[in-house]
Structure 1
Amino acid sequence: MSEIELVVDNFAGGGGASTGIEMAIGRSVDIAINHDPDAIAMHKVNHPTTRHYCEDVFDVNPKEATQGKPVALAWFSPDCKHFSKAKGGTPVSKKIRGLAWVAVRWAKAVKPRVIILENVEEFKSWGPLVKTEKGLYPDPAHKGETFEKFVSELESCGYVVEYKELRACDYGAPTTRKRFFLIARSDGQPIVWPEPTHGPKDTLEVLSKLKQPYHSAAECIDWSLPGNSIFNRKKPLAKNTMDRIARGLKKFVIDTPKPFVVRIGQTGFGGDRLSYSLDQPLTTITTKAEHCLVTPTIMVNNTGHTGSAVTDPLKTITTGGNQMLVQASWIKEDYSQSTGTAVEAPLGTVTAQSVHQGVMSAFLCKHYGGNYQGAGIDVRNPTDTITQVDHHALVEAFLIKYYGTDTGQSLEAPLHTIPTKDRFGLIRIENQDYQIVDITMRMLQPHELAKAQGLPEEYIIDRNPEGKRVSKAVQTARIGNMVVPQCAKALVQANLPELCENKNENRSA
């Protein structure tokens, strides 16, 4: 029997790449290296059989770490912040930008058969820096020169090098995260780029079952978690936040012929809500908690009740110069027996004891910077990139069936006289008018972000190997820094099929 080849994960982080590799080969990676104790702790609790080095990658001697054993795969995911366009016009660090050189060090020292490097798309622009009064900045006159030298160094070590950008949602993750991947081989075998396995649900390839439909952001959301009303807060939401919510409501609820809807929970309007999946992937998950979930809920009241009298001032949400007025009135009926149904499906049986049907429509509001002018994300689609500080918020709009004669008004027209029962914020769905009665918003939680990043349900993110609880901030940062496992899995299966053939044997060993 030939000697077992090692698999090494440099910049292992919380274990995203290692998890994807394990999905492919059926066992944990042999060696994981990362300087961050929090990252190593998350990796260790999920990959206990791996040998961990909590050190700077340049402080680990490849020959000593591998102990003379051959290396099948060395994975590298160097810090991407000082290449990413998300960093904006701030100075960069030469040391951090130079972390990728450790791949050349491993190539020269132990010559892995396959090297895979992951980074942001801008990694190809790696070049010299120029010093200014504010610090070091990339020199536009020499853009990409260091990257070309990096590739040449690998080639001089006997490697064939190719690189390409891949989107995680194309391989089964619920995020659109796009990343640069470089593959270098020294074993004479061809470099193989995996074919996408998923696509938009309305494409011919999906309809003909040649591909699977994208996973959605909705599948990652825990619908049992309530949001907080955007009205009557002790500290009002910022104008930019309200503007984003308004744009999202207009695009994904008011102007959408078939808004996304789910049932409200068994405890009724305004209470806990059942967990239902949405049908499209989230956008990229980052290392900060910046994702918020916004969900409009539609209440169907067959008794004709339109809510309580308007006793509080209307709350104005502006989009440009237009106004959309939404009254946060309360529903007086008991909705504890409400079962709900999707607007596309027939209503459930209506009985004397249960005459109400409840549904909820949701979208994701994105909190990037003050200049972000988008409407957010339809939860039937994948999420954007998940970052170290989450920027997705869930917005929920609660509505009640409206039986009045007023059909609403144009957002551009002067406001009508406000009656004792609010008639603004009307939405028409399936030829029926509904009225918004409340809007809630909350940030996505770490366990939701983990699902959006493609981590398996059983992945442990909230405690370390000693059982100590991990803060939400640390959880979010580790998740946002992770490689999406589905990309690592696809690349390993395509380029190291011989390791994957022994998958069942590896698991039983």
Structure 2
Amino acid sequence: MGEQLPVVSLFSGAGGLDLAVERADAEPLAATDTGSGLLRVRVATDYNDLALQTLTANFQSARTVTGDIRQVTTDEILATAGLAPTEPVLVVGGPPCTPFSKSGFWLEQKRESRDPNASLLDEYVRVVRDTRPQAFILENVQGLTYKTHHAQFERLLRGLGGLGYNPQWKVLLAADYGVPQLRRRVFVVGRRDGEKFEFPEPTHSGWSEHSHAVDTTKTPHITAAQAFAGLPRLAAVTDEDIVDGTYGQLAAEIPPGQNYLWHTERYGGRNHFAWRSRYWTFLLRLDPDRPSTTLQAQPGPWVGPFHWENVVTASGEERARRLRVNEMLRLMSFPDDFKIKGTRADVQRQLGNAVPLELGKAVVRALMSQLGYLHPAIAA
């Protein structure tokens, strides 16, 4: 192994993008293949101490800085990493996506893009300006590109462009890169030398809610059933697993791949809900023959996706069940031995906010190839 190239990670969370950095040239979905170790996260930052506990449990060599990035100086970040300006090869990170997520649109300030956390994009620009890495990767929810947030997104691009990085952006579908999840994320990538970054071509294809066109020359999307293959069967069902209460019986009656709309006048269930009266994820069940929908970071008690199989409660009733941690890891294309700190709700919040590993790897591989650090065959 040669000299490891240093990376500064901002808004690190549980470390999805950090994992992609350190395993950039590992074989797809090969849990024991950690890659050549070309890149190494030297410092990771986040305001959430629990997330950084998860990160340090999986990245023993990474140093961390806990705190509000608006109060953390670039000098502190560089000093913790043991680096000087221009020494980081990459700055990576995904500013908290809540201000730009569709799930927040019920709040007027989010619809009008007045969320104060949107200023965290400016902090990302500040750190890139002060550290002068060879390149950067910024990741966020697709909502950042919506017209509602046009001013913030354009300010981000102008700020990075003004530094000479020629930022390029694109919304990528995780399933198109071997992730068993129909999650769309925007990536913004720029190079210090001003050369244009070319995004990686998809390796997989299948139909989604936006397009039913399928490229038969590519590998089919990985389904939820394929993702769960080899996982141990349920040893015991806990109360935490069971979808019960007000809508417990209704959820249990919904077929795989359907949601609350099953129980409207237009489908075969009970006529219980008005048509399109809830979010799509309400009482949503996984379809074993398709990739999962987006894993929600902060789901309510009736927000899926739930597993397609029912379980039997102690009283003998059939109920839908929530996804278990090992299943959520598979849907994020994370290794099975990835350790996550906190309660089950903490785990889902950390994974729901993370970058799916194989999607992150595809972007990092492409960038490192174009910078000349990886052979193109490895990046393909």
Post-superposition shift, 1:62?
Answer: 2.5
Aligned amino acid, residue 489 of structure 1: K
* Other structure's SS at 1:394 match: coil
**Alignment of 1:388 onto 2:297:** yes
Where does residue 320 of structure 1 map in the other structure? 265
Where does residue 51 of structure 2 map in the other structure? 39
1:371-382 to structure 2, matched below 5 A, reads 371-372=279-280, 376-382=285-291
Give TM-score, length-normalised by structure 1: 0.57
Change (3 A) 1:220 1:438: farther
More displaced stretch, 441-450 vs 383-392: 383-392
* Other structure's SS at 1:191 match: coil
Post-superposition shift, 1:243?
Answer: 4.2
Structure holding more strand per residue: 1
* Other structure's SS at 1:78 match: coil
Structure holding more helix per residue: 2
Where does residue 494 of structure 1 map in the other structure? 366
CA contact (8 A) 2:288 2:308 kept: no
**Alignment of 1:147 onto 2:130:** no
Aligned equivalents of 1:146, 1:152: Cα separation in 2: 10
Post-superposition shift, 1:370?
Answer: 4.2
Change (3 A) 1:168 1:396: same
Aligned equivalents of 1:35, 1:109: Cα separation in 2: 20
Aligned equivalents of 1:204, 1:146: Cα separation in 2: 34
Aligned equivalents of 2:19, 2:347: Cα separation in 1: 16
Number of paired residues? 329
* Other structure's SS at 2:309 match: strand
Aligned equivalents of 1:8, 1:112: Cα separation in 2: 9
* Other structure's SS at 1:57 match: coil
Query: Please, which of 213, 216, 229 is the counterpart of residue 223 of structure 2?
Result: 216
Aligned equivalents of 1:43, 1:176: Cα separation in 2: 25
* RMSD (CA atoms): 3.7
CA contact (8 A) 1:73 1:113 kept: yes
Post-superposition shift, 1:320?
Answer: 2.9
Change (3 A) 1:192 1:89: same
Aligned equivalents of 2:277, 2:322: Cα separation in 1: 16
Residues 238-281 of structure 1 deviation map (CA, whole Å, 9 limit, x = unaligned): 34x544544426x77xxxxxxxxxxxxxxxxxxxxxxxxxxxxx
Residues 112-147 of structure 1 deviation map (CA, whole Å, 9 limit, x = unaligned): 121111111121247xxxxxxxxxxxxx6xx51232
Post-superposition shift, 1:438?
Answer: 7.8
1:381-460 to structure 2, matched below 5 A, reads 381-390=290-299, 391-396=304-309, 439-460=318-339
Change (3 A) 1:204 1:441: closer
**Alignment of 1:160 onto 2:166:** yes
Where does residue 106 of structure 2 map in the other structure? 89
Aligned equivalents of 1:169, 1:30: Cα separation in 2: 30
CA contact (8 A) 2:7 2:42 kept: yes
Residues 90-113 of structure 1 deviation map (CA, whole Å, 9 limit, x = unaligned): 134633111111221123212112
Where does residue 73 of structure 1 map in the other structure? 90
The runs of at least 4 aligned residues of structure 1 exceeding 6 Å deviation read: 201-204, 226-229, 321-325
Aligned equivalents of 2:158, 2:268: Cα separation in 1: 58
Aligned amino acid, residue 49 of structure 1: S
Aligned equivalents of 2:174, 2:266: Cα separation in 1: 38
Aligned amino acid, residue 124 of structure 2: A
Change (3 A) 1:369 1:456: farther
* Other structure's SS at 2:307 match: strand
Query: Please, which of 58, 67, 74 is the counterpart of residue 70 of structure 2?
Result: 58
CA contact (8 A) 2:284 2:306 kept: no
CA contact (8 A) 1:32 1:52 kept: yes
* Other structure's SS at 1:30 match: strand
1:361-380 to structure 2, matched below 5 A, reads 370-372=278-280, 376-380=285-289
Give TM-score, length-normalised by structure 2: 0.75
Aligned equivalents of 1:104, 1:374: Cα separation in 2: 39
Aligned equivalents of 1:88, 1:17: Cα separation in 2: 26
Post-superposition shift, 1:61?
Answer: 2.7
Post-superposition shift, 1:439?
Answer: 4.3
Residues 267-318 of structure 1 deviation map (CA, whole Å, 9 limit, x = unaligned): xxxxxxxxxxxxxxxxxxxxxxxx9xxxxxxxxxxxxxxxxxxxxxxxxx96
1:86-165 to structure 2, matched below 5 A, reads 86-90=103-107, 91-92=109-110, 94-125=115-146, 144-165=150-171
CA contact (8 A) 1:42 1:460 kept: yes
Aligned equivalents of 1:101, 1:384: Cα separation in 2: 31
Change (3 A) 1:169 1:322: closer
Where does residue 192 of structure 1 map in the other structure? 198
Larger radius of gyration: 1
1:298-317 to structure 2, matched below 5 A, reads none
Unaligned runs of at least 5 residues, structure 1: 127-139, 253-290, 292-316, 326-367, 399-436, 464-469, 505-509
Query: Please, which of 177, 181, 184 is the counterpart of residue 178 of structure 1?
Result: 184
CA contact (8 A) 1:245 1:375 kept: no
